[in-house]
Amino acid sequence: MTAIDRRRAWWLFAVFTGVYLASAQGVMEHLDDVSMLAVADAILERHTVSVSANTPASREGRDGRHYSETGLGLSLLALPLDYAGHALEFLDPVPKMQAPSGIPIAGARIYVVSFAGPLAMAAAVALLFLLARALAFEPVPALAAAASLGLGTFAWHYARTFMTESPSLLALLAGVYAMLRMTRGDGRRWAALSGAACGIAVLLRPANAIALPTIGLWLGWHFVSDISTQRERLKALVSWASPIAVCLLVIADYNYVRFGSVFETGFGIEALAFTTPLSTGLTGLLISPGKSLFIYAPIVLAGVAGLWPLAADRRRFAVVCVLLVASYVVFYAKWYMWWGGGTWGPRFLVPILPYVTIGVAAHMKMPVARRTYIALGLLATVSVCIQLASVLVPYVPYEAKMEATPELFQRLLWSPADSPIVAHLRTLFTREYPFALAPSYYHSAPILVFQTVAGIASIATFAIGLPRLFRKASTPSTAAV
């Protein structure tokens, strides 16, 4: 990694942090987010992981107390923000909101804790740029791939939530990036970093363990052609596997403390409910109007088209990308709730978005006709417009309306006219609701000023940094792999 690439990555982080903070929502709209925050509060205030009986997504544990059904990872990562939020709530309180059940869903603490998503997603955008540079892509194609992820996919929507999607994406991407560095011979410490990142991904959501076989296979594939000794290979394997094992032990202990079994994650029989016909789940996740990966992020089409030229120069990495994407798609296609609950788009596929958007960089590297670049620009424009509709229009009213009956919900999933994207684009122009931004919920002057300044700072940082950091073409940072 060169010094100029590090500066570019920090610049990207600053730009996208501003974008995501400017478009922050700062409220809790799901059950899982409230539950994970309740665990963070319990750790911070009472040094326990038990929660109150009225906490959403919780149930009675083996000792009669209630415990969240969600993973522990995000609650732990959010502790610094939760502490800061408590201090801000004491020093400068802002209006609070509660759900009908009495659970807080807005307030200074919740607003600050919700920064976990923007910070994680901004870091992921910067890291994808570094990954593309490590794969020997020129700076502009690498920037295009990173921007495609940050602005052209539904990762933007989930960056505004206190959910595990954005941190999972970042952790898994960090694991892949570190493994790439390790296979290039940059030192065994990269294997340990990859293992630590993969372990955190599993700690955030146990289902992320489906990525481990692919990354482990990549490590083994590297050993086949590696000229190092058997002892060095064993050290690399132990370095990668040890942090994962530690995180698995933490999960096992957390499960036992809550529910008396190291294998009980909290979801009960739901965790094994892979009852959807594979054809139905695949159709839903790939081409349905209500949940299609390609409809919610059209730029992914260009990324998929770029995987073939990516494979021509970087076969191993392309295979890793395909296997990661396929493992998530097939895994969740079989689950009984393949659509991801009452949420925007195919949320279960958020962690694999970098492995298709990296294809945008490969696509741009090919000698293509002018009309191809025009098509790429149109895809990018449509993708950004869809994401803006998801960010500016509250999704809960339409989702609740279409989940009122099984018939309406089937229309949401399978009818083009009833797709949430169509509804959001229509609502965006009719202005049926106020923009789904924090100032609309809080009516707080400080929050309005903060998010306005964040947006202006992001634009200024982009305008000043782009010509300075990308003015001169630079040589690829590494050899092709």
Give the pLDDT band of residue 472 (cuts 50, 70, 90).
Answer: low
Asked if the model's pLDDT at residue 69 lies above 70, the reply is: yes
Give the whole-angstrom CA distance, residue 325 versus residue 321.
Answer: 6
pLDDT in tens, 155-168: 999 999 999 999 99
Name, in order, each residue with C-beta under 8 angstroms of 95's C-beta and a sequence gap of 6 or more.
Answer: 106, 107, 442, 443, 444
Q: Count of CB atoms within 10 A of residue 218's CB?
A: 22
pLDDT in tens, 262-274: 998 888 788 889 9
Give the whole-angstrom CA distance, residue 237 versus residue 256.
Answer: 28
**What pLDDT, on the 0 to 100 scale, is given for residue 275?**
94
Buried b vs exposed e over 443-457: b needs ≥16 C-beta within 10 Å? ebeebeebbeebeeb
| Among 474, 447, 39, 438, residue whose Cα is nearest residue 258 | 39
pLDDT in tens, 202-261: 999 999 999 999 999 999 988 887 767 788 888 889 999 999 999 999 999 999 999 999
Q: Count of CB atoms within 10 A of residue 46's CB?
A: 10
**What pLDDT, on the 0 to 100 scale, is given for residue 480?**
41
**What pLDDT, on the 0 to 100 scale, is given for residue 227?**
64
How many Å from the N-terminal Cα to the C-terminal Cα in the chain? 15
Question: Is there a contact between 70 and 39 (Cβ–Cβ < 8 Å)?
Answer: yes
H or E element at residue 461: helix 445-469
Burial class (CB in 10 A: 0-12, 13-18, 19+), 404: exposed
pTM of full prediction above 0.85: yes
Asked if the model's pLDDT at residue 474 lies above 50, the reply is: no
| Among 69, 82, 73, residue whose Cα is nearest residue 114 | 82
